[in-house]
Structure 1
Amino acid sequence: MAVKENEATKGKTRPISNIEYVGMSLIALTLIILFVKPEIIGGSFDAMLKKAVGPVVDVYLTGTLGTAIILSVMTGRILERLGFTDALVRIFTPLAKVMKITPLIIVPAIYNILGDINASGRITGPALKKAGATKDEQKIAVATMFQSQQSFSTFMLGLVAFASKGIWAFPIVIIGILLPVVIVPFILSKTLYRDVQYKDISEMPSFTPGTPLFTTLINGAREGAELMFLLLIPAVVVVFAIIGLLEYMGIWAPIESAMSAFLSALSIDPVTGMQSILVAPTLAMNTLVETIGTMPTRFAIGSFILAASGLPLQIPFAQIPAVWSQSSDLSGSEAMQAALVGLVIRVLSAFALAWILTPMV
């Protein structure tokens, strides 16, 4: 039989796939460029390199941002070890009972505040399933997670920026970060995601780790370094390299102009707003520390609230679908849709709260 199959397939070749046609087109295009204007290839790479090396070296490696990230993640882990997560869940429980929704939906947002969006899914996803949370409640948890920053360093650097300009941060934190974590679940449970029901606190696991305090410090610092080197710096290189290439091609300027106009209309500083959306909110808040004195208070508040979210864009479009589809009852598309709902709410709230909070600070 094997001999007959070999004879039947002898002389036949594998059909060319679509991606191979793409590859051959690229080869042809490369040869044409090498013949007509070979400096385009080297110039493109040089433009990407020059655009990316500045933020990576000057901001993360030799600047203060890298150390700030490590310290902030370490601080977040200390707070978690001291019962911060469980305390917030306990405080939220009476409100959850009134809203007739499981208190566990707040936990992803708390983990976001402490700077671990992966833990938000990997830890609370299975906990939500175990507690019998409905799909709608799990979607609310994802959308609510977008109402708080996904890095504790974003929060800390924002406070540093406000202090440097003499802006009173208390109402911004309470109304801009903590209040939406309560209000958004209530609104969504009455509109988009209505299949909700209260779960008693006795059904919840403890989210306070039992590791020794010194071990918590060391692990937190190591986690901060991993965050910087394995996630933030690669993201910065990718995004700034693409921007550098688009600049070299002459098409980035109109894109940047359109995004700047859109963000300005929303009372968000264009520079830090684009950094939050495309690169990392941590980088945006580090920039805000340096530039807050040159912008209206309203723009600084809008930028901080936008940064206090699940941005940049690779998180709702890639990271959240991958993590939540594995650890919860949600599919990748369901998790992405819930994340985008939360992102839209966050953008609109950044615009509204920038106007509301400015007279208070």
Structure 2
Amino acid sequence: MAVKEKEIVVSERKMETIEYVGLTLLFLSLIILFVKPSLIGGIFDAMLGRVVPIVVKVYLTGTLGSAIILSVMTGRILERLGFTDALVRVFTPLAKIFRITPLVIVPAIYNILGDINASGRITAPSLKKAEATKDEQKIAIATMCQGNQSFSTFMLGLLAFTKGGIWAFPIIVVGLFLPVILVPFILSKTIYRNVKYKDISEMPRFTPNTPAVPTIFNGAREGAELLFLLLIPAAAVVFALIGALDFVGVWKPIESAISAFLSALSIDPKTGLQSVLVSPTLAMNTLVETIKNVPPRFAIGSFIIAASGFPLQIPLAQIPAVWAQNSDLSAGEAMQASIVGMIIRIISAFALAWILAPFVA
């Protein structure tokens, strides 16, 4: 008896949208290689030209890389000495009024004391351990962006105000410490409302039992891992993109637009641009030299924008990378929260520059 063979029908796979994108890129690449092959090499060279000075001169041979390692180590020492648990106790009465977990303020305090990246690495796991909601973790990120991430930024700002005859005390209190209290309250009532108050009795202890020597050396090693595995790649991505945009002639207009925008917001365009694109510490160092030629209103705005989560690679790359690894948030959610925090900071810089200038100059 003959057995009839089954017919095998092979159906063609349906083209996905991303495959059309890939084919378009392939054809464009072939056209560029035929018409102007130097364009591809030029873009890569421009990306390299932007990335190398930042990675090598700032992170590797400059002070920033060492500062990050030391800040993580210092943060771990503070955590081991009960600093996190002490902060939770201090802010519990305030958190009870706001009906929010007191831990949302902790990353901002670590940030002011050390570094925004170390702050996320140390305090994000604590929020996760305390079972903070995603909204509360987002509030923590946005609040963290309200303070200076470098003690040198703070000290140089004070020096600039002294040289310019500007009374620094109200600026420090209203510009640095008040937002740490107000931002969690405002966000918990508006954008991120899925919050719940937790008393100390409902939260675990955050002080580890690690011996002294391993705390120090493990903290330094963790700082090095953060630097080489997360922060340098994140910075490379942002500056490579800037290099590519600069090569095709798009970046200069963007840079000019940012400068004009800062000037309209009562922020000194020169130092403001340095804060946004390069380094807040460099911006405050420049302000020390130029303060006598800068109106007090613009000097105040420049200091407040420097005491924030800038430059751009931090909210767009470093915060998402660090918090996605250490919290319940995805990289996109962490970036969204950091952008919210930066928008609040820009608005507060504009408002406080106008409000404080008549009282401090």
How far apart, in 1, do the equivalents of 2:177 and 2:234 lie? 28
Match of 2:125 among 99, 122, 134: 122
Residues 1:227 and 2:230 are matched in the alignment: no
Match of 1:148 among 144, 152, 167: 144
How far apart, in 2, do the equivalents of 1:13 and 1:76 lie? 57
Amino acid at match of 1:19: I
Closer/same/farther in 2, CA of residues 156 and 126 from structure 1, 3 Å limit: same
Contact 2:139 2:192 in 1 (8 A): no
Residues 1:8 and 2:4 are matched in the alignment: no
Alignment of 1:81-230 (within 5 A): 81-110=80-109, 112-113=111-112, 115-129=118-132, 139-149=135-145, 154-162=149-157, 165=160, 167=162, 173-191=172-190, 198-230=197-229
Alignment of 1:269-280 (within 5 A): 270=269, 273=272
Secondary structure class of the residue paired with 2:307: helix
Contact 2:106 2:123 in 1 (8 A): yes
* Cα deviation, residue 127, structure 1: 0.8
Contact 2:69 2:224 in 1 (8 A): yes
How far apart, in 2, do the equivalents of 1:318 and 1:224 lie? 17
Partner of 1:242: 241
TM value normalised by structure 2: 0.78
Match of 2:290 among 281, 287, 294: 294
Partner of 2:306: 304
Alignment of 1:35-114 (within 5 A): 35-110=34-109, 112-113=111-112
Partner of 2:343: 344
Partner of 1:327: 328
Closer/same/farther in 2, CA of residues 177 and 306 from structure 1, 3 Å limit: same
* Cα deviation, residue 55, structure 1: 1.6
Overall identity of the aligned pairs, in % = 53
Secondary structure class of the residue paired with 1:208: coil
Closer/same/farther in 2, CA of residues 276 and 25 from structure 1, 3 Å limit: same
Residues 1:259 and 2:258 are matched in the alignment: yes
Contact 1:85 1:207 in 2 (8 A): yes
How far apart, in 2, do the equivalents of 1:35 and 1:310 lie? 36
The answer for unaligned runs of 5 or more in structure 1 is 130-134
Closer/same/farther in 2, CA of residues 199 and 70 from structure 1, 3 Å limit: closer
String of CA shifts for 1:98-137, please: whole Å, max 9, x gaps.
33443333344445555232444333134135xxxxx5xx
How far apart, in 1, do the equivalents of 2:24 and 2:150 lie? 47
How far apart, in 2, do the equivalents of 1:150 and 1:229 lie? 26
Contact 1:148 1:310 in 2 (8 A): no
* Cα deviation, residue 319, structure 1: 4.6
Closer/same/farther in 2, CA of residues 139 and 273 from structure 1, 3 Å limit: farther
* Cα deviation, residue 249, structure 1: 0.7
How far apart, in 2, do the equivalents of 1:141 and 1:43 lie? 42
How far apart, in 2, do the equivalents of 1:259 and 1:178 lie? 27
Partner of 2:16: 17
The answer for unaligned runs of 5 or more in structure 2 is none
Contact 1:108 1:142 in 2 (8 A): no
How far apart, in 2, do the equivalents of 1:334 and 1:238 lie? 19
Amino acid at match of 2:280: M
Bigger mean CA deviation after superposition, 119-128 or 188-197: 188-197
* Cα deviation, residue 338, structure 1: 5.3
Amino acid at match of 2:154: L
* Cα deviation, residue 79, structure 1: 1.9
String of CA shifts for 1:140-164, please: whole Å, max 9, x gaps.
4522432235998x22231343355
Question: Matched residue pairs, number?
Answer: 341
* Cα deviation, residue 92, structure 1: 1.1
